[in-house]
Amino acid sequence: MDDRLVIVVGYDGIELIDLACVTSGFEHANRQGARPPYRVVFTTPAGRPVRSDTGLEVRGQTGLDRVDGRVDTLVVSGGLGHEAASRDPRLVGQVRRVAAVSRRVASVCTGATVLAAAGLLDGRRATTHWHYADALADRFPRVHVDPAPVYVRDGVVSTSGGVTAALDLTLAFVEEDHGAETARRVAMGMVTYLHRPGDQAQVSQFTGVPRPEQLLLRRVVDHVVGHLGDDLGAARLAALVDVSERHLSRLFARHVGRSPARYVRDARLEAASRMLVATSEPLTAVARRCGFASAESLRQAFVARFGLTPSRFRAEHTPRRAAGR
């Protein structure tokens, strides 16, 4: 094989980050010596320029209808134009045709809508941007939509969550093709998180819960995030902002949707899950730094929340993190 042909599909209303994460990720792999290298071709309907959802225009290198012969990877971009694209029978038909000659097929974010329209997700588990997951499930009931993961791989078809999840999926492809060390160097070169596992939630604790507009709560939340190893009991947090525990609990329920104790526990679990994937710290150190009394208390909280032990979670992802070191 002289190269790995990657066909990226765009249309009016694509998201530029979706496009750039894929094309730049594969190009960075080439710079790291990937052999055979990737040859990325950006295609559009009839090869015409397309307008991104920010208004910038991007020129296609060729038309999707002109793609002929074997393809290594087909990737359909996402963007606000995904609904219109999925209702374009010519585009959908070409995606279906090229997918039939591709080693693997993928979508980024709302590009899953186009794959679903082509029948490529029928009977498969798939994800998309969490905001559009219900719409995808309603329109395509034969698709098993899971809005939580960063990406999902079901056989030869992969789908990724919102926007920058495209980079996580691209890194997974690079690792599959060229090994964990190459993927690690690509991640370092792009100054990104070292390959979030696909089953990690799209929306983390710190982005999934909006930073409260209420100024007093904002002080409390910022303190929690910055001091996970400290005493974060309700009494201590209430004293921090000079209110009663009862009043603080009412504020949390109204503005955050959970109790102070639940927020603290979730924040600590989120931080622990990140450390388990990104570091080789022993469990006792992870527990201590994230505010758990012991490795056993971390284990109990982890099992209750995620359904598996911290050790099991780390073991499943250790090869990705440690290979080649």
Residues with catalytic function = 109
Place of tokens 């004293």: 239
Which residues is 6 bridged to in the sheet?
A: 40, 73
Tokens of residue 182, six digits? 């190459």
Tokens of residue 271, six digits? 């931080």
Please name the residues in contact with 228: beta carbons below 8 A apart, sequence gap of 6 or more. Answer: 267, 268, 271, 289, 290, 291
Burial class (CB in 10 A: 0-12, 13-18, 19+), 240: middle
Residue 50 CA to its chain's centroid (Å): 25
Tokens of residue 106, six digits? 């993928």
175-182 CB contacts, 8 Å cutoff, 24+ apart: 175/320, 177/4, 177/29, 177/34, 178/29, 178/34, 178/35, 179/323, 179/324, 180/319, 180/320, 180/321, 180/322, 180/323, 180/324, 181/323, 181/324, 181/325, 182/29, 182/32, 182/33, 182/34
Burial class (CB in 10 A: 0-12, 13-18, 19+), 16: middle
Please name the residues in contact with 77: beta carbons below 8 A apart, sequence gap of 6 or more. Answer: 8, 9, 10, 11, 14, 15, 18, 19, 22, 108, 109, 111
Tokens of residue 188, six digits? 């370092």
